[in-house]
Amino acid sequence: MTFRSGRHFLQIPGPTNVPDRVLRAIDRPTLDHRGPDFAQLTKEILPGLQRVFNTKGPVIVYPSSGTGAWEAALVNTLSPGDQVLMCETGHFATLWREMAERLGLSVEFIAGDWRHGADPAAIEARLTADKEHRISAVAVVHNETSTGVTSRIAEIRTALDRARHPALLLVDTISSLACMDYRHDEWGVDVTVCGSQKGLMLPPGLGFNAVSKKALARNGSRRSYWDWKPILQSNETGYYPYTPATNLLYGLREALAMLFEEGLEAVFVRHARHAEATRRAVRAWGLELLCADEREFSSSLTAILAPDADRIRQIALQRFDLSLGAGLGKLSNRVFRIGHLGWFNDVMLCGTLAGVEMALGRKGGVAAAMEWLAKGG
């Protein structure tokens, strides 16, 4: 492999650049997961997670990917044969649907064009029509990592309420948590799904479920590893029913500390600002955003329609050591995605956009972004 001098720019929409502080926290001797120091660690982490999910209820941490946390949300609340309403917002919504079907759930998938978020009106209509309340849950992706389009969870909550429907609301925040405002309790979400490797600035390896009382009361499917109850019981004294991923938890403690030092509100403003700068660059390049509705712009990533998108990504990687996200599923080679989430700042963004601009062979994008950033946009 050719030697590459300097820092790799990991600007896929996750995993994100892990801060040195977090890497160094992980790089500590493993401890006894049944000893008093571990209990102390748990007691620092869990309240921090509640603050990030905006919930007073429990947050469960799994040694798993975000995909595992998806499965946990489904198997703790739903049984084979249960009906779930899902929305085709993009590739990850499609994968979550496939998982649900493999787990024996009966999924109704509201079609989408991968350029819009889940439609609150369509959800409300469908739930209103479900007089017998056969639909057990509505499952939505807050921020579609494949499209850079968000779904308006608060409005979806309102849709459920107006339909007076008792379905659970399950939300995937894998690429939105700690990037954009999110309110598990206020929005009446029953299970919020997340992973460690995006806004939480950790390497991959941890999955999360924030859980409402209503969700906890459900029986769900046969399960063991994913079962919330023994975990919650062990968590009470600071432990886990099986060996937790201790070193990643060291990193999580540090990452939470960093988020609170910056302030969650400041974190959200920073992400929004970089997203806007990126969109201005895209327009200056004469390219089209995939996201079709400005109310649904993502602060975490921007997906850009571009002919021969994979070739652009390849040039960016080979010539500029810059990793961009590929178009996934039906967007393959039609879009590329810029991640601007996690541990990031203005000059990292400018470097990123410069790499894209050079790979594209276009002009004016970085200049447009700088204009926005410089005026404190």
Q: Indicate which single residue of 5, 131, 164, 237 sits in contact with a copy of itself (rule: CB under 8 A).
A: 5
Q: Restricting to residues 245-284, which ones interact with a copy of itself according to CB under 8 A? A: 245-248, 258, 261-263, 266-267, 270
Residue 15 preceded by cis peptide, ω within 30 = yes
Structure tokens that stand for 253 in this block: 């403690």
- Binding a copy of itself (rule: CB under 8 A), the pick from 39, 46, 99, 292 is 99
Q: Which is nearer to a copy of itself, 292 or 367 (CB)?
A: 367
With a CB cutoff of 8 Å and minimum separation 6, the contacts of 47 are none
Task: Name the residue with tokens 């779904």.
Answer: 151
Among 154, 253, 367, 377, binds a copy of itself (CB under 8 A): 367
Choices 35-43, 110-118, 128-136, 289-297; region in contact with a copy of itself by CB under 8 A: 35-43
User: What part of residues 213-242 is at the interface with a copy of itself (CB under 8 A)?
Assistant: 221-225, 227, 241-242
Minimum distance between the CB of residue 205 and a copy of itself, rounded to whole angstroms? Answer: 4
Shortest CB 20 distance to a copy of itself, Å: 6
Segment near a copy of itself (CB under 8 A); pick from 152-160, 289-297, 303-311, 345-353: 345-353
- Cα angle: 309, vertex 144, 59; to 5 degrees: 140
181 touches a copy of itself by CB under 8 A: no
Using rule CB under 8 A, residue 301 touches a copy of itself: no
Q: Please enumerate in sequence order all residues whose Cβ is within 8 A of that of 168, keeping only pairs 6 or more positions apart, or say none.
A: 77, 136, 137, 138, 190, 191, 214, 215, 218
Which of 83, 154, 346, 377: binder of a copy of itself (CB under 8 A)?
346
Residue at 132: amino acid letter = E
**Strands (E) located in 307-359:** 322-326, 335-339
Q: Cβ of 70: how many Cβ atoms within 10 Å?
A: 27
DSSP state of 112: -
Task: Choose which of 57, 148, 195, 327 interacts with a copy of itself (CB under 8 A).
Answer: 195
**Residue from 27, 161, 186, 288 that binds a copy of itself (CB under 8 A)?**
27
Cα(114)–Cα(130) distance, integer angstroms:
25
Nearest CA-CA partner of 187 in 176, 195, 196? 176
Q: Which is nearer to a copy of itself, 71 or 144 (CB)?
A: 71
Q: Strand locations in 73-232, DSSP E?
A: 83-87, 106-110, 135-141, 143-144, 149-150, 168-172, 191-195, 206-211
Does residue 363 belong to the site contacting a copy of itself (CB under 8 A)? yes
Cβ proximity to a copy of itself, 48 vs 203, nearer residue: 203
Rounded to a whole number of angstroms, the minimum distance from the CB of residue 164 to a copy of itself is 32
CB closer to a copy of itself, 174 vs 289: 174
